[in-house]
Structures are given as structure tokens and as C-alpha cells.
Chain A
Amino acid sequence: MGTTTIKTDNDLIKYVKNVGESNFKKCFQCGTCSAVCPLSTEDRPFPRKEMIWAGWGLKEQLASDLDPWLCYYCGECSKNCPRKAEPGELMMSLRRFLISAYDWTGISKLLYKSKYAEYIALLIVAVVVFIEWAVLFGFSPASGASLNQLVSPEKIDYFFDWPMTAFLGVVLTSFIYNMYRKTVLSDKSVKIPLKLYFTEGWSLIFNFFTQYRYAKCDDGKEPFYKKLTDGKYNFWLTHLFLMISYVALFVGIVFFLDWFQKENSFPLLHIVLFDYFASIGLMFGTVYFVIKRLTKKIERSKFSHHTDWMFIILLFLTGFTGIILRAAIVYKLPVPWMFYLYLIHLLILFPMLVIEVPFSKWSHLAYRPMGIYFANLKEKAKNLSKQV
């Protein structure tokens, strides 16, 4: 085992304390948390190790740590911690810290520190959208025109969706590169053979689309179906449902906006996938999580940061306005209604995507699978070098 050089970063301790409700200073390193954690392993004794790193303000260690991305906040650790130090919540705080650490712009840090900063950021984007809308479409829909004539999908694509997608793509990629640099490149002890990047690629995709590690949160010995009927997988499945709905809609809207604004081109796929499956997923998922956060019955919903609330509320509102808009189209409501509904929808959707995806909670959509991917790479590389 290596030697750790202690460089205490007092600001870091304050920051981590600030962005969550873990009492990590209370930890006396008994190791119970790591022992009960269904995901922690001998080589990666999280969250105990993170508890002491956070307590001692060891920024270098924490910033290069991938383990927070391996934790799904099942809360077993928090439940069993004799000191009520909330190790699970620390892992959550650390994910927030990591999001701000990967973000070289410093915006995330601001958003996590202050809810007002978050409000202002969202507002700025909303104002930009508003102005764009005013310039492109004005505020007095001509009577008799169809929605497509008033708000052309092409213009939405060219002036809204695609620039935003490009922006998200570039920013997120640079953040992910930053993450890669901090967590993989900085670690001089492992060299990852190029081949591994490809052979491990499947795990990236697999994890992205199944979030299978969630299922491991319960390490009880019962068979799968028993756990399923006992509701042990509810959280995972709801999360998965929500995520797939969201991704489906995102991809659909960004690349096939036409489908949504006109009535139908592939009616069956359209109705089943978007109108039913994804809409239900979005509504059900968000409401489910809101209820969990309000009732605070399970560990992972006990504490809510302002960014959690903002994220889930915006997501709900986006979905809600989107569905109403879609319903208006399907049920042929008066066009001016649709025109304004459209505007409202965008005023919520864009701030959410532009702010939340790269700079706040939503970035976990990218970081989590990447984290697992990188962790896998490192582990495999280590095993390979051991065999040599």
C-alpha cells in the first residue's frame, strides 16, 4: 500500500459539508459501512475510505476517486453506521463535488453552492429562449395557420435543438475528458492497453441502458422474481423506465421533431413509444421520486439538495407541458393555444437541458456509466499487469 501525503484542503471540507447532509466528521473508521455495502469490494473499500478522505480534506484523492459513481445510494451503510455519520449521503455529496470538479468552468460549483445561482442561471437561459422565440416567431400567431406554419420544426431544429445539442455535446465531452484525465490518466500506477477501451465498451453501453448495478444494491439471497415481487427492484425499474423514456424522447425530439409536430408518420411506433410508453415513464417516474423525497422513508430519499428538487420538478414540468402540447396537437385544439403552450414548454425544457445536464444533477447520466467504464478499465488493466 502506498503512502498518502496529507495535504488538508479546508475549503474542500466546507464544500462537501455544504452540498449534502453527511456528518462525515463523525466517522471513527470502524468500517461497518464498507462491510455492509453490497457494492463495495476489498480493493475498493468505499464508503469508509471516502469518509476519511473527506474528513481530512484530501482533495487529490477525492477528485481522482471513481467510487462515488459505483455507489447507488442503497443506504445500507447509513442505516448501519454506529455513528450516524451518513456515509451514503457522503457518497452523494461527493458525486456533487465530482460534478463540480470535472466542470472546468466553475459553473457547477456555483450552482451547488447556492440555489439562487441556480435560479438565476435557469432564468438567463429562459430569457435567451424567450428572445429567440420573439425574434423567430413573434407573439401574435396568425389566425388560420397550422402549428407547423407558425413554428416550423426546421427553425426549432436550427435555432434551438441542434445548437443546444451541439453545446451539450461539446461541454459534456470536455468534462468527461477532464474526468478521464483526473481519474485515469493521473493514476500513474495503471497503464490501460488501448484494446481494453474497445473490449470494455460493451459494459459502458450495457450499464447505460440497464443500470444493472442498481439490482446489486440488494444482496439478499432470494431469487430474482422474489425480489421483484417484494418490490426490491421498484426503485431501479422506475429509474430505468424514467431514463429510457427520457432518452427516447430526447433523441426523438432532437432528430425527428417532425413526428411530434405533425400528427403522424409512423403512427404505431409513435403512439406506442412516445405517446404512451415515454409519457407515462416520465410522469410516473418523476411523481414517484417526488413522493419518495417527500416521505423520506428510504435512505436514498432522506436528504434532498436543492439541485435534486430543481431537477425533478423541471423534468416533471417539461414532460407535463410536452404531453399537453402533444395532446393539443392530437386532439386538434385551437392553434393559438398550441402556440403558447409550445413557448412555455421550451421555456422550461431549455433551461433544464442547458443548465442541468452539464452543470448539475443530470450530468450523472454521462458520468455514472463513464465512471463504471473507467473503473472497469482500471481494474482489468491492473489484473492484466498482475498476470504478466
Chain B
Amino acid sequence: MDNNVGVYICSGCDIGKSLNVERLVNTAKDSFKPMVCLSHEAFCGEEGINLIKKDIAEKSVNKVVIAACSMRAKQDVFNFDPLNVHTERVNLREHVIWVSPPNDNNTQLLAEDNIGMGIARAKKAEFPEPLVQELNKTILVIGGGVTGLNSALNAEKAGYSVVLVEKKSNLGGFPYSKYKKWEANPPFDKNILIKNGMDELISGVENSKNIKIYKNSKIKSISGAPGRFNVEIESEGESNKIDNINENIGAIIVATGWKPYDAKKLDYLGYGLTPDILTNVELEELYSDLYQDGKNENFTIKRKSNGENVKSVAFLQCAGSRDENHLPYCSTVCCMSSLKEAALFRKNNPDANVYIIYKDIRTPGEYENFYRKMQDDEGLFLMKGIISDVSFDKGSNIISLKVKDTLFGGDIDLDVDMLVLAAGMVPNSGDFEAGPEVKLGSDNDSAANANGASCAATTTAGLSVLPNKSGILNLTYRQGKEMPDLAYGFPDSNFICFPYESRRTGIYPAGSVRAPMDAVFSVDDAKGAALKAIQCMEQTSRGRAVHPRSNDMTYPFFDLPRCTQCKRCTEECPFGAIDEDEKGTPKPNPERCRRCGVCMGACPVRIISFKNYSPDIIGSMIKSLYIPEDPTDENYRILVFACENDAYPALDILGLNKINLSSNIRVVPVRCLGSINNVWYADALSKGIDGILLLGCKFGDDYQCHFVKGSELASYRMGNLKETLTRLVLEEERVRQIQLEFSDYMKLPEIVDDFVNKIKSLGPNPYKGF
């Protein structure tokens, strides 16, 4: 491959006023001998860009190094054909002149180093060879509830064919058996029958020619990658005959919904004492039954125990939810559904008093209007409090509640005819412990759960054949059969940055299996997931990455003959992209890869590389640095690995605000801190770098790492590094990782100064000059 490097040093945007551009050009020419080296007052202008284009056309320049603004600026101008021209952006504006004093020798040295690193990288970089392929573009939707149906319809509308797999014999999912839904619009009184609302949706799906429906079916296995998934479906036909069907699938939407929290675990709230203590779902079913009995909405709600009219009922909110011992999160739907059920109670049993005991009433947005309206009801009593005891007196058939921490300034005693436990929402994500619930977990129908004992027998019978973890997806992936959870069993990705993403490329959970949400939100979620699925298939077939490195055409190359089968890459890939053969040799799946480079950082023998990003490329950038030996203050050199997602932009914003930063630092952008290979530390320290600072995203429970585990892995690997440093008699403080949010840019000068000062206090790197 020809290495025709052209270096273009821009003097616009005050670069020329702050730096000696002529000297930069000469230094670049002397040290790197590029084919072309020019300066111009605005390379982004027509004249400037034409100069570059001319060199590309006439002199066959194929490595364009543009020393000007940040790589995040002017991407639309410097957009040469990536397959034939490598474009390297050297940031002289945001990272040099905007953060350093003008016409200062240290500023000049900083600029020179940055140009040097850019040229070093450009020289080594190869052109991407995107994996363009004909791929399957059928979308598999798992689950035929609100989310599944909407996903299927949306995907179909966008022109894609869909395969829909539903566990039960009918579509409609969880709410289908429920009585009424609430209106999402004021005045919230047009509660319609759910069935009527859903039948339209169901027939839309059933009548579509592009949606193939498998009812009574489940997923036996999924293998492959986006665009080439092979899905085995186990379908129960007539007379219980099991058919195995194979479908080729492009992308997958998981819409397996939720199930109510196991009511038996709510025995501390009196569940099981009397049939008059029931869950919200059971109450819905009671409404349904009463309605079905008379085909009339004006039924009176009667006690299950003795058939008498219910005169008082209490709803207990957060039954099991927001409780460390049960479900630590808010299930989001129960406040609204209790209010809705209470409204129905008040309408159908107008003499009944309805009490709602809550921790907080959570009815955000428009729903607040419904809450306010309900508050006015003379027969509705809302009270903040914590239930401390539920007891039942058989003789009088009365349920007695004790509530503590109430706003009555003490405890209250309350006697009621009926108690409704607003039980929470558990995702049907197939990732939980074995137990009698396992079958239920894979079951969209809550009736089995709600009917309690009568169903237990069938449940247990089904259990014996089930594996330890229930199988919703049954992936054949090396990292496990199901989606990894973010928290509490919800296979969410990052709730802050990218709600529809997941950690299994091409598989998108949506609706209440993704996070607790109601039907209204699930409809939107379904659209989002359908779009994600489509985007993934289209991008993958063009050989481009999906979020967050959208459009990246490189992918990791494994030089397998040198692989030691240490399995680090297959274990550490945050997206489970790499499978393994029996011997432990990685089997990469570029379609599943998100191009984070974590595998590259993990590999101890450095056999994983991207065309334009590899241990060698970054290593040569480091080696290109000029390290002065004279141990004066300004000659300390700090290498900064800055994550391209947050830390690099934060540095840009700091520049935009013209806030000075120490000129001792040299910034190397990295795809993710997880892609840092330990060899770079060695490269840097042996070169004479005095300290290394890692700027990357937050990790932990509310991580912000765009590759989920990258920054955490970096810090974990640094643990090992520190031992090595100690062996080399280098202070471990010479390497530091800082977790940074984009919005933390104002903290950067302090972070950097602090580190520089620390290094100065340690003294220069003793290996300097060796």
C-alpha cells in the first residue's frame, strides 16, 4: 500500500496568530518527510479544500493529515472517500490554541507533537474493508402483546417482513384479559374495554400478509448474528404435536412483557388470609368476570368470601415494589391502575369507601390530572403510610390494617371488606432463579399466577423439563442464553444515553420487559425498537457499525494462529460478540461487533487490531512524541488517553470556552478506555512519559460508558498494571483514571493540574532518556 502522506496545516481560526505555522510546516517536513506539507488560511474553505482534493487526484495523496479543528468539527467538509483516503484530523484549535497561551514555546511544542502523532497514525493506518453482504432482513418479534403487536405492525409498515412468536394461543398478551384501561387524555373518563381496543390491533396483525404468526410457540434457540440469525421455533400445533421450525432472521425485538410479582411472596401483607385479599391483577380479573357474567358494565362488586356487596376497600400501593427485600424499583403502572380501579369501584359500588395507602403517588405528566380529579371524590381516601400489619378476623369477616408513619401523626387502624395489593411488575426476561415460578416467567398469561394453588400443579409439572434459567431467547452465545441485565432483571442498556440499545447487537428488548412501563409508553417503545431493528439490519448489510460508532466500517481482525486461547476477548466483549470453539479459540462475529476495541485492549498477545486502530498504531503515535530531557516544569510530559465519546468532546467544549489547560499534556483519543492495551503504558513509560491520565466515562450502577463495561474494565486492568509498575520501581500514582461526564468539562483544568502536580511531586520518569 502506498503511503502518500499529505499534511495540511491550517492557519485559520487564529491558529496562525497563536502558532508559528511556518515552523510547524518545516518541522513536519524535516521529521516526517511527508509527500506534501502545506499551510493555508482556511482549508475548510473552497480554495483550501480544493488544494487537498487536487493533491489527492494528482499526486495520489492517500493519507490526509489535516491539522486544524477538532475531528468533531467540519466533518461534512473533510469527507474524502474513506475506502481510498485515510483522513487524520489533528486538533490544533480546540486542544491547542484555545486552551494554551498564544505564541508560547510550550504551545508550539504541543502543536508539533499533535501533528507528529497524527502523521504517525496516518502512516500506519490502513483503509477499511467493510463487510458488505446480502443479509436477511426479516424481523422476529417475540411476544404478541401491546409492544409486540405494535412492533410487528410498525416494521411491516416500513416494508419489512415479520415473524411473530407468541407463547399463548391468542394474541393480545397480558392486558387482553383485563377489564378496562385508562385513558391517556383528560378528562380520563372514557375508559374503554381493553379487549375492544386491542382487537383492532390484533386483526391488523393477523390480516397482514407480511407478518407470519406462530402461536403456542416458543424460541428453542437463536444462533448467528444480525442479518443471519438462525432461529429455531418450537410450535405446538393441533393435538399437541410439536413442530420445529427454522426461520432466518435479520434482527429481533424482544417484547415478552411482564408478569405480576409473585403474590405468595406478599403473605406479609396478608395475601392468602382470605379471598378478599387479592392483587390488583386479580381484581381486574374479577371485574372481567363480573362483566362477562352479565355483559353489563353496571355490575356490583361483591366479596369473594360471602358474595356480599363490598362496602369498603383498601388499596395497598407498592406491594412488593420499592422494597429492598422484594422489587427495589417502582413498577410505574400500579399507581395509575389502582386509581383507575378505585374509580370503577366508586362508580359501581357508590356506597363503598375506597382507601389508598401509598408511599408516594406516582402519576407523572398528564396522569397527574387523573389523580387530581380522583382526589375530589368524596368516597376516595388517600393516605401516605407504611403498612405494618394486616390481620383477618374470621368471625366478623373483617380485614384489619395497621398503618404506621401516617400523616395523622401516628398509626392508624382501618377495617375494610376487601384489600387490594398493588403488586409490582417483573420482567419476562427469562433471567431468574429456578423455582415454581420458572414456568410462569416464560408465560405471558398471568392467570396461572393469579389463580394460585389450582395452577401450582401444572406449574411444577412443567418445571421438570425446564433448565435452570428459563429460556426466552436461548441464545447459543458464548456469554449466555439470555440478555444481560442492567438492573433487577431488566435487560436494559443505558437508560441515560440510549434507551433502545441493548448489549446484544440486533436484539432489542422493548416495552415492559425493557423497563417498567405502561401500555401507552410501550406503544412508543415498540416503534423505537422496530426502527432500531431496521437500522441494525441495514447498517450491517452495508458493513457499517451501529450505535455508538455508527457507520464505522472497520471491525476487529484476529490473527488467530498467534492466539493463546486465553479467552479474555470472548469473556470481556461487552456485547457478547465473540463465540468460542471447543479449544477456546475465539470465533468473532463482526455483525455482532460494536467496534469498541475492548477485545483489542484485552488481548495479551496483541493479535486483535482494526485497520485504523491497533496496539501498533497507537504505540507509534506515542513513540513519535518529543520528550525533552531537561527536567524543568514545562518539560513534564503527561499522556492522556481520552475516550472519544465523552472526554474528548469535553476537552473540545473546554476549548470552546477558552479555558486554559496545562501544556504538559498530550491527548491520544481512544475508542473506549476499555480498548487501551497494557502495552501502551509500557510504550509510554519507556519513552519517558512522566504520567498517564485516563479520562473516561463513569462506571458502576449508573454507568455512562458507551460500551457499558469499557471504562470499568480499564480500571480493573489497571490493577494488574500497578503491580508491574511497582516491579519496575515506578510509583503506581503515575497512572490515574478519572471518571468524567461530558458536562464535567469545567473540572478538567483542575483534574489535569492536580495530576500534573502529583507527577511533579514524584519527580520525572527515571527511565527518561534510556
Contacts and interface: CB of A to CB of B under 8 A. Distances in A.
A25 B413 contact: no
Contacts of B381: 8, 55-56
Contacts of A49: 408-409
Interface stretch (A9-17, A253-261, A323-331): A9-17
A25 B378 contact: yes
Interface stretch (B274-282, B287-295, B369-377, B477-485): B369-377
B375 A26 contact: yes
B367 to A, nearest CB: 15
B114 to A, nearest CB: 55
Nearest to B407: A29
Contacts of B379: 10
A13 B377 CA distance: 11
Contacts of B408: 4, 49, 52-53
A109 B479 CA distance: 75
A6 interface: yes
B55 interface: no
Contact of A4 (B378, B384, B411): B411
Highest count of chain B CB atoms <10 Å: which of A1, A6, A56? A6
B158 interface: no
A38 interface: no
Interface in B348-374: 353, 355, 361, 372
Interface string B384-425: 100000000000000000100011111111110000000000
Interface string A289-332: 00000000000000000000000000000000000000000000
Contacts of A45: 409
Given A8-B353, A29-B407, A52-B407, A3 B413 contact: yes
Given A13-B378, A26-B376, A3 B409 contact: no
Given A10-B353, A55-B381, A56-B381, A4 B375 contact: no
Contacts of B355: 6
Interface in A1-55: 1-6, 8, 10, 13-14, 17, 23, 25-26, 28-29, 45, 48-49, 52-53, 55
A8 B352 CA distance: 11
Highest count of chain A CB atoms <10 Å: which of B377, B378, B380? B378
Nearest to A53: B408
Nearest to B412: A4
Contacts of A5: 412-414
B382 interface: yes
Tier of interface size on chain A? 20 to 34
Nearest to B402: A3
B413 A17 contact: no
A29 B376 contact: no
A372 to B, nearest CB: 22
A23 B411 contact: no
B378 A10 contact: yes
B335 to A, nearest CB: 13
A6 B414 contact: yes
B492 to A, nearest CB: 31
A13 B378 CA distance: 7
Contacts of A56: 381, 383
Contact of A23 (B376, B410, B412): B376
Contacts of A10: 353, 378-379
B372 A26 contact: yes
A139 to B, nearest CB: 52
A28 B372 CA distance: 10
A6 B409 contact: no
Given A10-B353, A28-B382, A29-B384, A2 B410 contact: yes
B372 A1 contact: no
Given A13-B378, A28-B382, A56-B381, A1 B410 contact: yes
Nearest to A48: B407
Contacts of A3: 402, 410-413
Contacts of A14: 378
Contacts of A28: 361, 375, 382
A10 B408 CA distance: 18
Contact of B411 (A1, A25, A53): A1
Contacts of A48: 407
A30 to B, nearest CB: 10
A207 B215 CA distance: 81
A14 B384 CA distance: 23
A8 B413 CA distance: 12
Contacts of B353: 8, 10
A290 B247 CA distance: 84
A45 B408 CA distance: 10
Contacts of B410: 1-4
A6 B412 contact: yes
Nearest to B371: A28
B288 to A, nearest CB: 29
Contacts of B383: 52, 56
Nearest to A5: B413
B209 to A, nearest CB: 52
Highest count of chain A CB atoms <10 Å: which of B377, B379, B412? B412
A290 B361 CA distance: 42
A17 B378 contact: yes
A127 to B, nearest CB: 39
Highest count of chain B CB atoms <10 Å: which of A3, A13, A29? A3
A8 B351 CA distance: 12
Contacts of A1: 409-411
A45 B409 CA distance: 9
A64 B409 CA distance: 16
Contacts of A13: 378
A13 B380 CA distance: 11
Contacts of A29: 384, 407
A5 B380 CA distance: 17
Contacts of A55: 381
A322 B381 CA distance: 51
B432 to A, nearest CB: 36
A35 B410 CA distance: 19
B375 A25 contact: yes
A34 B174 CA distance: 45
A45 B412 CA distance: 18
Contacts of B382: 28
A211 to B, nearest CB: 29
B411 to A, nearest CB: 4
Contact of B413 (A4, A23, A52, A53): A4
B418 to A, nearest CB: 15
A25 B376 contact: yes
Contacts of B402: 3
A28 B382 CA distance: 8
Highest count of chain B CB atoms <10 Å: which of A1, A4, A26, A53? A4
A87 to B, nearest CB: 14
A1 B408 CA distance: 9
A2 B410 CA distance: 6
A54 to B, nearest CB: 11
B693 to A, nearest CB: 47
A14 B415 CA distance: 22
Contacts of B361: 28
Cβ-closest 8 pairs across A and B:
A1-B410, A29-B407, A3-B411, A6-B414, A5-B413, A4-B408, A4-B412, A13-B378
Given A1-B409, A4-B406, A26-B375, 16 more contacts: A1-B410, A3-B412, A4-B411, A4-B412, A6-B355, A6-B414, A10-B379, A13-B378, A23-B376, A25-B380, A28-B361, A28-B375, A49-B408, A52-B407, A53-B408, A56-B383
Interface of A: 1-6, 8, 10, 13-14, 17, 23, 25-26, 28-29, 45, 48-49, 52-53, 55-56
26 contacts: A2-B410, A2-B411, A3-B410, A4-B406, A4-B408, A4-B410, A4-B411, A5-B412, A5-B413, A6-B412, A6-B413, A6-B414, A8-B312, A8-B353, A10-B353, A10-B379, A14-B378, A17-B378, A25-B376, A26-B372, A26-B376, A28-B361, A49-B409, A52-B408, A53-B408, A56-B383
Interface of B: 312, 353, 355, 361, 372, 375-384, 402, 406-415
